[in-house]
Amino acid sequence: MEKVCLIGAGSTKYGKLEDSITDIALQASVDAIESAGIGPKEIQAGYISNVFGIADKQVHLGPVIMSNLGIPEVPSLSIESACGSGSVSFREAYANVAAGFYDVVLATGVEKVTHTGTEWTTTYFSYCSDFFYEGGAGASFPGLFASMARAYLSEFKATEEDLAMVAVKNHDNGLLNPKAHLRKKITIDDVMKSAVVASPLKLYDCCPFSDGASAVILCSEKFAKAHTKNYVEVIGSGRGGSPAALQGRDHITTIPSTRIAAQAAYKMAGISPKDVDFAEVHDCFTIAELVDTEDLGFFEKGKAVEAVREGRTKLNGDISINPSGGLKSKGHPIGATGIGQVAEVFDQLTGKAGDRTVKDAQIGLTHNFGATGASCAVHIFKSV
């Protein structure tokens, strides 16, 4: 098995974008290619992650992107795994390079939905749930995560203010990220006073609908070494699944797929959670970050809330969680999110993260799931 490395990354700003889905995918792809210091013709395959290309009237995105990059003959495909599409696509790109099928590949994630309006988006996003049991029964994602939040608050004596602290922290980080969607300082009071979306979750507990694209270049270690000294190594990769509908799970304050994926990734990397310097985790709602950081083994069950209260997950705390601002502040263009996390890790570990740099970081982790965690992938990276 070949060692797989990252040599480049790029992203558009996340937010409400005017350009087409193809254009923003290309902007991120070109950024990544230029960041890697290679030419498009060195790319041997394209892995695209996207969920609702139909919103901008373009599915089958791979050939369109490859053609516009001037490499129409290069094979490509689109991968969908709901909000976890990016990390799952990254995993396929990783696997193909690790196996030696390709030497250099482009992984681009993209989503363009804000122009469709909230009703379209909420309705179509609900098709990512187990629609027979969930979306079709009226349970949209805010409602499902609200159920998880209610159970967590009850089981672990946490408060709505605790949830709010996650949002405040991630907005603080996002303020330092020029490409973040919601660059706005907020207070606990702001969160508490924001409109109730699905009790106990309020508007500021929820990530936004975002447009955006991110891209990274993966390659063999041999190729990386020949091209640059400033690259990042993929040292762990794991995937897992959970019962698709929340009602099929024994507990709803933990996500099985995260645990399965993380265990596999830690095992491959030969590290334990305490070795991780920072992590980009799937905080689609504030409650998710608490659950994630426990399932990833950073904290014991029910203890993430203490860590947040004590500021231990802040930028340059014990473990920096979501230095980019996370889905909450950086934004959540669903097909792009998992790739954007990897781009953040690349920037962090190659000295390109500016004001939000996690000091002396050597190991970064990405965690990205689909729906309420029905699918999940975890990746671990190391600076060289």
**Residue 76 in contact with a copy of itself, rule: CB under 8 A:** yes
CA neighbor of 283 nearest in space, from 198, 167, 174: 167
**Interface with a copy of itself by CB under 8 A: which range of 171-179, 252-260, 300-308, 310-318?**
252-260
Shortest reach from residue 79's CB to a copy of itself, in Å: 6
DSSP category for residue 206: B
Q: Is 108 in the site for a copy of itself (CB under 8 A)?
A: no
Tell whether residue 120 is a contact of a copy of itself (CB under 8 A).
no
In the residue annotation, 367 being an active-site residue is answered as: no
132 forms part of the interface with a copy of itself (CB under 8 A): yes
Angstrom distances, CA of residue 83 to CA of 28, 49, 79, 129, 185: 19, 10, 11, 10, 26
Sign of CA dihedral 30, 227, 322, 369: positive
Segment contacting a copy of itself (CB under 8 A): 47-55, 163-171, 210-218, 341-349? 47-55
Q: Which two tokens stand for residue 223?
A: 């190729």
DSSP 128: G
- Interface pick for a copy of itself out of 92, 277, 283, 294 (rule CB under 8 A): 92
Q: Rounded CA gap, 10 and 4, in Å?
A: 18
Using the contact rule CB under 8 A, the part of the chain among 144-152, 215-223, 241-249, 290-298 near a copy of itself is 241-249
- Rule CB under 8 A: is residue 268 a binding residue for a copy of itself? no
284 is known as an active-site residue: no
What part of residues 8-27 is at the interface with a copy of itself (CB under 8 A)?
20, 22
CA distance 220 to 172: 36
Out of 113, 308, 371, 380, the only residue in the binding site for a copy of itself (CB under 8 A) is 371
Q: Is 127 in the site for a copy of itself (CB under 8 A)?
A: yes
Evaluate whether 146 touches 198 at the Cβ level (below 8 Å): yes
Cα separation, 131 vs 139, in Å, equals 9
Residues 6+ apart with CB under 8 A from 118: 209
72 binds a copy of itself (CB under 8 A): yes
> What residues numbered 141-160 form the site for a copy of itself, per CB under 8 A?
none
Q: How far is CA 307 from CA 41, 103, 230, 301, 314, in A?
A: 47, 41, 33, 12, 9
Asked if 57 touches a copy of itself (CB under 8 A), the answer is yes
Active site residue ranges:
83, 332
Chain residues binding a copy of itself by CB under 8 A are: 1, 20, 22, 45, 51-54, 57-60, 62-64, 66-67, 71-82, 88, 92, 95-96, 98-101, 124, 127-132, 135-136, 239-245, 248, 256-257, 260-261, 370-371, 374-375, 377
